[in-house]
Amino acid sequence: MRLHTARLSALPRLLGSLLLVAAAGLSSACVAPEASAADSDAAARALRPLGQVVPAPASVRPGGEPYLLTPSTSIRTTPSSGDARRIGDYLADVLRPSTGFALPVTDRDAADGIRLRIDPRAGGLGAEGYTLTATSRSVTITARKAAGLFHGVQTLRQLFPARVERDSPQKGPWRVSGGTITDTPRYAYRGAMLDVSRHFFSVDEVKRYIDQVAQYKINTFHLHLSDDQGWRIAVDSWPKLATYGGSTEVGGGPGGYYTKAQYKEIVRYAASRYLEVVPEIDLPGHTNAALASYAELNCDGVAPPLYTGIKVGFSSLCAGKDVTYDFIDDVVREVAALTPGRYLHIGGDEAHSTSHEDYTEIMDRAQAVVGAYGKTVMGWHQLTGADPVKGAVAQYWGYDRTSAADRQQVVDAAKNGTRLVLSPADRIYLDMKYNDETELGLKWAGLVEVRRSYDWDPATYLTGAPADAVLGVEAPMWTETLDDSDDLDAMAFPRLPGAAELGWSPASTHDWDTYKVRLAGLGERFTAQGIDYYRSPQVPWPASETTGG
């Protein structure tokens, strides 16, 4: 793993080591080495309690004998269901490397094995809910829709020992606690955002992040595709946006962009993990890459140089030029045609170089274009300072120092029908530093430790906003200081699962003291997946994790 991630977690590891040394001094006189080894082996083989997963399930009824996965186990899917079959193949691909079992996937029903069932008659589960029942003979996951079945499979993964996530044969047994989980999401929108504009990420790196977020029942993947530092999506009618505007990144690296085929591959891959892609084309600010690519987009007709720094608020499209609206129409048309999802995000934040009159003109006309091409408008919460169209979604990224007037503007819009996705920067911006020693990330919104990231309620966060206006939550990952998957790992984990729980789990389950224990149980799973995560001292990680084992 990268040395910077080791330094990022050095303080909690040191504290953990000191505690282990003290514990060893107290216990060495009375515990023989053989007993310690036996205890460690027993701990490794212990059953994970049925409800000890993230996000917390809506209902858990433990009971009965555990289920044991064996070399003769089959994965049985609903007959004639292509979706169930694909999910069964996905599960088999997860379990085969570590267990060494064949795990054939079949549509031949029987009362044993892992049974994946799509049943349109299953009541009370909605589009994303599921039930999981484990007995000594079988594990049965039932859902009305394929997305629910996929989410149930993610729960099953966590119920197996953490070593099931390794990509080489491991020692069993592979047991699941007996009982029944019934689970449905709190919010319809549960998002993760990846900024590929400040630093470019390859298709494979994006797929890796998609796989990570999908494990925690996130269902929306927001791609920030354009900014001052880079334009990352090919647009046939404006080819220099990608070839020139995408030719660099923060710090002056080579940048990059996605061809239309590559973007469609990302969309397809996300859909296979039951995530809807939300593309973002940021307007009217954060547009230097576009302005540098085409001089005519500038009010003075002069193209600025490409930009590789991290300042914001200096660029703007020109409200008084017809070509601006031709540009917006062309880009939205082409991106919308590539995107089967409902939403198209038009940014709208930090337009400090745009007058209010010009901002309103550009955003009003951009919203009309989005609607004309069959998409629902999303924008950062500054959109509420213009005229949000009916059905628009405002993404709130404010924080503790956000003015009361700005908050009230968002609340008033929510009262008038604008829906909200909450992404408070000092809570779930995953690029914020954990503490002053964190090497990566920024801290303009403050330091964000794991508890602060988790310990807030979306329903009451914006005082005065109707609770039913909250569509959900999203955890953005901005990449001014992040340039590869190791960097994403270090900043997303362990905060990302908490953001996912805020979106999925019932408010009644929200409790830091119980959550931190469930989160600690994921530590060995992160390690098994090759994630060098931040060992927060606020979380009671297993000893093997705090000492870097």
**Residue 155 contacts residue 137 (beta carbons within 8 Å):** no
Note if 350 is an active site residue.
yes
Q: Indicate the pairing of strand 130-134 with strand 179-183.
A: antiparallel
| DSSP state letter for 387 | -
| Half-sphere exposure for 338 (CA within 13 Å, toward CB) | 23
Phi, psi of 131 (to 5 degrees): -120, 145
Amino acid at 544: S
Select which of 350, 357, 474, 545 is catalytic: 350
Cβ burial, residue 43 (10 Å; 0-12/13-18/19+)? exposed
Decide if 99 contacts 164 (C-beta within 8 A): yes
Cα–Cα distances in angstroms (integers) from residue 49 to residues 60, 63, 158, 473, in the given order: 10, 10, 10, 28
Measured on CA atoms in the order 170, 75, 83, 506, is the torsion positive or negative?
Answer: negative
Candidates 255, 250, 226, 258; CA nearest to 479 is 250
| Dist CA 234 CA 127 (whole Å) | 33
CA-CA distance, 45 to 252, in Å (whole number)?
A: 49
Which of 421, 540, 534, 410 lies closest to 465 in space, CA to CA?
Answer: 410
Residue type, 297: L
Containing 380, the helix (H) or strand (E) segment is strand 376-380
Cβ(454)–Cβ(498) below 8 Å: yes
Total H helices, total E strands in the chain:
19, 17
- Positions annotated as catalytic residues are 350
